[in-house]
Amino acid sequence: MMHSRPIDEATLSKQSAAGLHRSLIVSRPNVWFGLMLIALHMALAWGIDGLFTEAMLMAHFGLFLLWQPIWQGDGRLENRHALGVILVGLVLTVWCSWWLMAVWLALLFGLIGGKLIGNEQPRQRFAAMLGAFYLLSFLLVWVVPHLFVEQLFADVLVSLVRYGLLLPPLVLMCLPEPTSKRSSPLTVDLFYSVMLFLLVAGLVLGSFVVKEVSLDDYPMALAQSLIIMAFLLMLMSWLWNPHAGFMGIGRLMSRYLMSIGLPFERWVRALADLAEREREPARFISLAAQDMCSLPWISGVKWNTPQGGGETGHPSSAQAECSFQDVHCIFYTRSSLSPAMWLHLKLLTQMVGHFYHAKLREEIQRQNAYTQAIHETGARLTHDVKNILQSLRSLCAAVEGASVQEATAAQDLVRRQLPQIAQRLTTTLEKLQAPGQVINTQVDAASWWAGLRQRYTRSQIDFSVFGEMAGMMLPRELFDSVVENLLQNAIAKVQQDASVRIKVTFDAANSGVLMISDSGEAVPESIAARLLTAPVPSQSGLGIGLFHAARQAAQLDYRLELAENREGCVCFRLSTNARARATSAP
């Protein structure tokens, strides 16, 4: 029998409050924004004395809390933040003055302007611009003139303020809501908000000072303040990117924004060191995420990749998602993000993603190198065994085809060849046990040549030698491998075309040059270009025999090359590198 788990009443009430907030507040931001401005207008347009003003200011502040872009409406408010909200509400209602209202409107203008920066939705941008226009107009036309005791207001101006300025909030309430349901992680940019607040505060204070000093009318003082601020902004715009050798305020500001608190630079250096130390991709991204949590503005990181995911640190209500290719990260931050911090997070994700994919490629390369080593070792040993097997077949054919008179010679042939075949098998096993070791067993050239001719007595091969072999030593494994591979390829041509002739020449007078040629068809150019430098397609084998023979020759300071390749003459040459260099020298 299954028992249902009791639902916590606090959790249920929290979920219902969150749903109510999403349905009433988040889905209709323009309505609450317009109501907030209308309540502020009703509180100030008819003066600030009386209980009606206090009631409207309290309603305005409540509507501001519903609309505010600082905290998430369904999140839990900390005690210190709640105390600050209560204090601000008490100050607005109890100590209400035109100076306080001027500061409050400047703060609202800064908040709206900070929310406007980085907002890409046209409807939200238009709503923010409309609200900012109303606040700045109401501040300069109505609130600032009330700072002067003797200021008189014309009836037309009073009517325009009381009834005409109500139009922007009403239009704001009628605007359609944004169609995108995805909320941006950027709420209010503190830097831009502070700059806009200081600009408005400078304009208000400048107008006040100019009027008090010059005793001019307020419109003239406001115009003078605007001209001075315009001149200062023009000067700052020139200093932002000058052309006289000074790097400019813009670059200084960019340098500051790109190195927030300097831990970012230290983290980049630590990430590079970590990339050098750690080889495994999964462990690398886990350690990199732990290092990210050391940044002062990140409290936790959650990542997800095709190979797995994880989480470190402590989750928070403010979070941002960044992706780079198949690396997906969720950053939990201690506060809402500004555009500079958002750019930092994108850079962090891209750097981690680049290093992570580099680790994946390194791991794939290691696996491919391991597989390739296994394949090359197996292919090389397969060719060695194949060549030994062919030698045994040639020996068996020689014994089976011998007559009674040739029995003694056949017996002597078996007696001489079997120890050599046994030695070659032993060498093959040594290669299997130590694939990277180069085996170089020296053998007398005359003995090796005699054994070669005896193994291929039944084949139509023309053997010829030039010079004296006495006292010359050769690397047996190399010459056996080269001869067996080349002769088997040539014999295959003979089996397809009986008119093909094979010729083996050894030039002892020139430091031991071995040449094997046949009169068959030429090797195709597409195969000849890669014949000795890479494995090539082969119908009778793995296409890797001559490639390994050439590598073995290079390890022993020899050179295997295709000396001539034309119809009726395909010639391979094995010689020492010293001989090859002397031949190619002008």
**One-letter amino acid for residue 212 of the chain:** E
* Alpha carbon of residue 23 to chain centroid: 39
Q: Phi/psi of residue 319, each to 5°?
A: -145, 160
Q: Which tokens sit at 56?
A: 């409207």
Residues 79 and 199 placed together within one structural domain of the fold: yes
- Of 157-166, 184-193, 281-290, 454-463, the one with minimum mean pLDDT is 184-193
Residue 564 bridge partners (DSSP): 571
Residue 42 has pLDDT above 90, yes or no: yes
Q: Which of 181-195, 356-370, 418-432, 571-585 has the highest mean pLDDT?
A: 356-370
Of 135-144, 176-185, 338-347, give the lowest mean pLDDT range.
176-185
**According to the model, what pLDDT value does residue 38 have?**
93
Instruction: State yes or no: pLDDT of 580 exceeds 50.
Output: no
Residue 433 falls inside a structural domain: no
Residue 48 is given by DSSP the state S
What pLDDT was estimated at residue 393?
A: 72
Tell me which of 150-159, 192-201, 416-425 is least confident: 416-425
Collapse the DSSP code of 18 into the 3-class scheme (helix H, G, I; strand E, B; otherwise coil) and give the result: helix
Residue 223 lies in a domain: no
**pLDDT at residue 160, as a whole number:** 92
- Kindly report which listed range (218-227, 267-276, 292-301, 434-443) carries the lowest average pLDDT score: 434-443
Q: Please state at what angle helix 339-400 crosses helix 263-277, rounded to 10 degrees.
A: 10
Q: Are residues 267 and 175 in the same domain?
A: no
- Lowest-confidence pick of 63-72, 106-115, 191-200, 476-485: 63-72
Q: Residue 527 maps to which CATH number?
A: 3.30.565.10
**Given pLDDT bands bounded at 50, 70 and 90, which one contains residue 476?**
confident
User: By the 8 A CB rule, do 207 and 219 touch?
Assistant: no
Identify which of 564, 463, 484, 567 has the alpha carbon closest to the alpha carbon of residue 519.
567
Tell me the mean pLDDT in the region 414-440.
66
Q: Does 208 share its domain with 112?
A: yes
DSSP for 494-561? HHH-TT--EEEEEEGGGT-EEEEEESSPPPPHHHHTTTTTS----SSS-S-HHHHHHHHHHHTTEEEE
Q: 356 in a domain, yes or no?
A: yes
pLDDT per residue as tens digits for the range 443-474: 888 888 887 887 776 567 888 888 888 778 88
Q: How many domains does the chain divide into?
A: 3
Is 332 in the same domain as 455? no
Instruction: State mean pLDDT over 504-522.
Output: 85
Specify if 239 maps to a domain. no
- The answer to which of 6-10, 301-305, 337-341, 450-454 has the lowest mean pLDDT is 6-10
Digit-coded pLDDT (tens) for 212-261: 887 778 888 888 888 888 888 788 777 766 655 555 665 666 555 555 44
Range of the domain at 268: 259-366
Question: Using one digit for the tens of pLDDT, what is the confidence trace for 308-322?
Answer: 788 887 887 777 788
Same domain for 186 and 271, yes or no, is: no
Q: Which residues are bridge partners to 502 per DSSP?
A: 461, 518
Could you say which of 305, 334, 366 is where a domain stops? 366
Distance CA 195, CA 203 (A): 12
The answer to whether position 232 is within a domain reads no
> Span 564-574, mean pLDDT?
89
Distances (CA, A) of 501 to 311, 359, 484, 493, 569: 73, 55, 17, 9, 10
Whole-number pLDDT of residue 24: 60
Q: Count other Cβ atoms within 10 Å, centred on residue 388.
A: 19
Question: Are 45 and 165 part of one and the same domain?
Answer: yes
> Within a domain: residue 431?
no
User: Residue range 36-62: average pLDDT?
Assistant: 89
561 Cβ contact partners less than 8 Å away, ≥ 6 residues apart = 532, 572, 573, 580
Mean pLDDT of 342-368: 78
Last-in-domain residue among 315, 346, 366: 366
As a 3-state breakdown, the chain gives helix, strand, coil percent values, each rounded to 5, of 60, 10, 25
Judgement on whether residues 355 and 299 belong to the same structural domain of the protein: yes
* DSSP string across 414-483: HHHHHHHHHHHHHHHHHHHH-TTPPP--EEEHHHHHHHHHHHTTTS-EEEEEES--TT-EEEHHHHHHHH
- pLDDT tens digits for 550-566? 888 888 888 888 888 88
210 and 283 share a domain?
Answer: no
Q: Are residues 471 and 539 in the same domain?
A: yes
Q: Is the pLDDT of residue 16 over 60?
A: no
Q: How confident is the model at residue 5 (pLDDT cuts 50, 70, 90)?
A: very low
Does residue 579 surpass a pLDDT of 80? no
Tell me the three state secondary structure of residue 337. strand
Highest mean pLDDT among 52-61, 66-75, 283-292, 409-418: 52-61
pLDDT, position 402: 66
Cβ atoms of 194 and 106 within 8 Å: the answer is: no
Find out whether 446 and 471 touch, Cβ atoms under 8 Å.
no
385 occurs within a structural domain: no
The residue among 344, 366, 388 that closes a domain is 366
Reduce the DSSP state of residue 344 to 3 states and report it: helix
Same domain assignment for residues 327 and 201:
no
User: Do 41 and 169 fall into the same domain?
Assistant: yes
Q: What confidence tier does 374 reach under pLDDT thresholds 50, 70, 90?
A: low
Same domain, 266 and 360: yes
